[in-house]
């Protein structure tokens, strides 16, 4: 018996890296898995691994960045397994350049895959789960989004990616607040692992060690994702987890700091001293990656 027996999971970008690790781990815990990736052969290879281990999975090459494509993915899941309980939004791309060197295409493609890619499937499944809840059938559904340290702290040369990932973190908060009434949990994570994206951005840092614990192994992240997708995590929603190797923490987001109230409109010339006092009263933000 696994902690995800009888649950059906859609995982995007699951043909390699973190997505593959999630797919294998969900299947090992009893879930039926829809392995979605635009690289259909890569998705099928992961499915073959799952089937060889006695698990249940199908490959899907549908487009997550359109409602039509997302509906096709959901339809394939329903045809194969009858229901969907968990969505793991994992797929992503990089188009790294310094901000003033970015092209419109660089910006749009990252926003399309990350932000719109997180919207389409979640919107379709969210409506399905809402309708189930209203009809008296508790969906016990879970959405797991993927933010990034770049989205939480910023990252030099990744303004498009960082902006998209920050948007995903905030999207998670709103989804959790709105969807909780329908028995849907929504969480996000900022994982650190060896993937095709991190190998292209920082190959020396994520290189597999010759011996000892491999802190960058994607399988290190998978247990948290599987737990969040299980019924064991029903009381956890609206959270952003950071995880790397054996380290796990909760990110603490923006909060309203100290307030200075004049009781009247401020004069621009007097604000310098006020702002200096407000800055001195709070902890400094974490540094932007790369600074």
pLDDT above 70 (res 46): yes
Which of the listed ranges 22-26, 197-201, 281-285 does the model predict with the highest average pLDDT? 22-26
Determine the structural domain holding residue 13 and report its residue range. 8-250
pLDDT above 80 (res 197): no
What is the rounded distance in angstroms from the CA atom of residue 160 to the CA atom of residue 110?
A: 7
Does 76 fall in a domain? yes
pLDDT above 90 (res 194): no
For range 42-50, the mean pLDDT: 98
Does 280 fall in a domain? no
61: CB partners within 8 A, 6+ apart: 36, 37, 38, 39, 40, 43
Does 261 fall in a domain? no
What was the pLDDT predicted at 200?
Answer: 65
What was the pLDDT predicted at 141?
Answer: 98
CA-CA-CA-CA torsion sign (208, 213, 215, 220): positive
Pair 233, 227: CB distance under 8 Å: yes
Q: Indicate the pLDDT class of residue 203, thresholds 50, 70 and 90.
A: confident
Does 289 fall in a domain? no
Mean of the per-residue pLDDT values for the chain? 94
pLDDT above 80 (res 33): yes
159 assigned to active site: no
For range 74-88, the mean pLDDT: 98
Catalytic residue among 25, 159, 161, 230: 161
| Percent of the chain clearing pLDDT 90 (strictly above) | 85
How many independent structural domains does the chain possess?
Answer: 1
pLDDT above 80 (res 207): no
What was the pLDDT predicted at 284?
Answer: 87
CATH number of the domain to which 93 belongs? 3.40.50.720
Catalytic residue among 25, 148, 155, 230: 148
For residue 190, give the H/E element and its range. Answer: strand 184-192
Does 257 fall in a domain? no
pLDDT above 80 (res 205): no
Does 38 fall in a domain? yes
Between vectors from CA 17 to CA 15 and to CA 20, what angle results, nearest 5°? 50
| pLDDT tens column, 129-173 | 999 999 999 889 999 999 999 999 999 999 999 999 999 999 999
161 assigned to active site: yes
Look at the block and give the residue holding tokens 């508790």.
Answer: 138
Q: Indicate the pLDDT class of residue 199, thresholds 50, 70 and 90.
A: low
User: Which tokens belong to 127?
Assistant: 């409506």
Does 269 fall in a domain? no
pLDDT above 90 (res 218): yes
Q: Indicate the pLDDT class of residue 75, thresholds 50, 70 and 90.
A: very high
| pLDDT tens column, 236-260 | 999 999 999 999 999 988 889 899 9
What was the pLDDT predicted at 1?
Answer: 75
Which DSSP symbol is given to 264?
S
Does 275 fall in a domain? no
What was the pLDDT predicted at 242?
Answer: 95
Q: Indicate the pLDDT class of residue 201, thresholds 50, 70 and 90.
A: low
Residue 82's Cβ-count burial label (10 Å; 0-12, 13-18, 19+) is exposed
Which DSSP symbol is given to 114?
I
């Amino acid at each position: 018996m696994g902690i995800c027996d009888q649950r059906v999971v859609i995982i995007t970008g699951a043909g390699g890296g973190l997505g593959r690790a999630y797919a294998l781990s969900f299947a090992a815990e009893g879930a039926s898995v829809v392995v979605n990736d635009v690289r259909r052969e890569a998705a099928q290879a992961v499915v073959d691994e799952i089937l060889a281990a006695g698990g249940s999975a199908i490959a899907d090459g549908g487009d997550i960045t359109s409602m039509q494509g997302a509906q096709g993915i959901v339809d394939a899941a329903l045809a194969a397994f009858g229901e969907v309980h968990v969505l793991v939004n994992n797929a992503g791309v990089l188009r790294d350049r310094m901000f003033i060197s970015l092209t419109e295409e660089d910006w749009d493609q990252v926003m399309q895959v990350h932000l719109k890619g997180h919207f389409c499937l979640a919107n379709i499944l969210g409506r399905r789960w809402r309708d189930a809840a209203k009809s008296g059938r508790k969906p016990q559904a879970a959405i797991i989004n993927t933010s990034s340290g770049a989205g939480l702290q910023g990252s030099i040369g990744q303004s498009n990616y960082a902006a998209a990932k920050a948007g995903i973190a905030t999207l998670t908060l709103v989804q959790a607040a709105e969807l909780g009434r329908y028995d849907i949990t929504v969480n996000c994570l900022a994982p650190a692992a060896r993937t095709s994206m991190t190998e292209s951005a920082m190959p020396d840092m994520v290189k597999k060690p010759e011996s000892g614990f491999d802190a960058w192994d994607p399988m290190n992240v998978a247990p948290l994702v599987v737990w969040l997708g299980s019924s064991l995590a029903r009381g956890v929603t609206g959270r952003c987890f950071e995880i790397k190797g054996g380290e796990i923490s909760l990110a603490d987001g923006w909060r309203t700091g100290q307030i200075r109230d004049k009781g009247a409109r401020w004069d621009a010339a007097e604000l310098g001293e006020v702002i200096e006092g407000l800055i001195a009263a709070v902890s400094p933000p974490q540094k932007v990656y790369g600074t």
